[in-house]
Structure 1
Amino acid sequence: MNNLKTFNCPIEAPISLIGGKYKAIILFHLVNKTLRFNELQKLIPQATPKMLTQQLRELEGDGLIVRTVYPVVPPKTEYCLSGFGESIIPILNLMCDWGTNYLNKSDT
C-alpha cells in the first residue's frame, strides 16, 4: 500500500485510490468474486488490455486487490479484493445505487 499522503480534504483519499479510468468498475466486478484477467476483459470491453493491466497493477499497489499467479502452463492469474479492498464495498454499492437512480431519472 502506498504511504499515506497529505490531503487537503478527506474525499481526496478515496478518489486518489479509485479515481482511475476503470478502477471503480474493476473493484465492483470483484465484489465477492475472484476473476481472471480474461474474465475482467470481457466484463470491461472498453478497456484495452494495456489499460486494464495498468489499472490492476495500481489497485494491487494500493492494496485494494490481490493478484495470484499460479505456476501452470498456460499461466493462470486471478484477482480478488483484499481485506482493505472489501472495506470499500459499501461505497461501491452506494455509487451503484446513485448511478441507477441517475440513469432512471435520465430516462424520464
Structure 2
Amino acid sequence: MRKTKRKFGCPVEFSIDLLSGKWKTVILSRLKVRPMRYGELRQDIRSLSDKILTERLRDLCEAGFVKQERSGAASR
C-alpha cells in the first residue's frame, strides 16, 4: 500500500485522497459489475490511454481496491 504524506482528519478524507482523479472511479465502476481483463477494460474505456490505465490500475492495486490475478493459461 502506498504511503501517504499527510495526516487525515477522518476516513472520508483518506478515501477521497486514495480515489482522487477522474479515472480511478470509472475503472472501479466497471470492475464492480464483473472482473475484467486489461484488454476488456481498454475496450470499455476507449478514451483512456494505455499508460494511464496501467498507472491507475497499479495505484488501485497498491491501495488494495483491485486484485490482479493471472490467468491459468499464462501461468503454465
What amino acid does structure 1 have at the position aligned with 2:58?
Answer: R
Q: Give me the TM-score of the superposition, normalised by structure 1.
A: 0.58
Point out the more displaced range, 63-72 or 35-44. 63-72
The corresponding residue for 2:56 is: 55
Q: 1:23 is paired with a residue of what secondary structure? A: helix
Kindly indicate which of the two structures has a greater share of residues assigned to strand. Answer: 1
Map residues 1-108 of structure 1 onto 2, 5 A cutoff: 1-2=1-2, 6-70=7-71, 72=73
- What is the number of residues matched between the two proteins? 74
CA distance in 2, matches of 1:63, 1:11: 16
Structure 1 or 2, whichever has the larger Rg, is 1
Unaligned runs of 5+ in 2: none
Q: Report the Cα offset of residue 12 of structure 1.
A: 1.8
Which aligned segments of 4 or more residues in structure 1 are displaced greater than 6 angstroms?
none
1:31-87 superposed Cα distances (whole Å, 9 cap, x missing partner):
1411001110111111100000000000000000000123635x8xxxxxxxxxxxx
What amino acid does structure 2 have at the position aligned with 1:39?
Answer: E
Unaligned runs of 5+ in 1: 76-108
Q: 1:24 is paired with a residue of what secondary structure? A: helix
Q: Give me the TM-score of the superposition, normalised by structure 2.
A: 0.79
Which structure has more relative contact order (CA 8 Å, sep 6+)? It is 2
Q: Report the Cα offset of residue 11 of structure 1.
A: 3.1
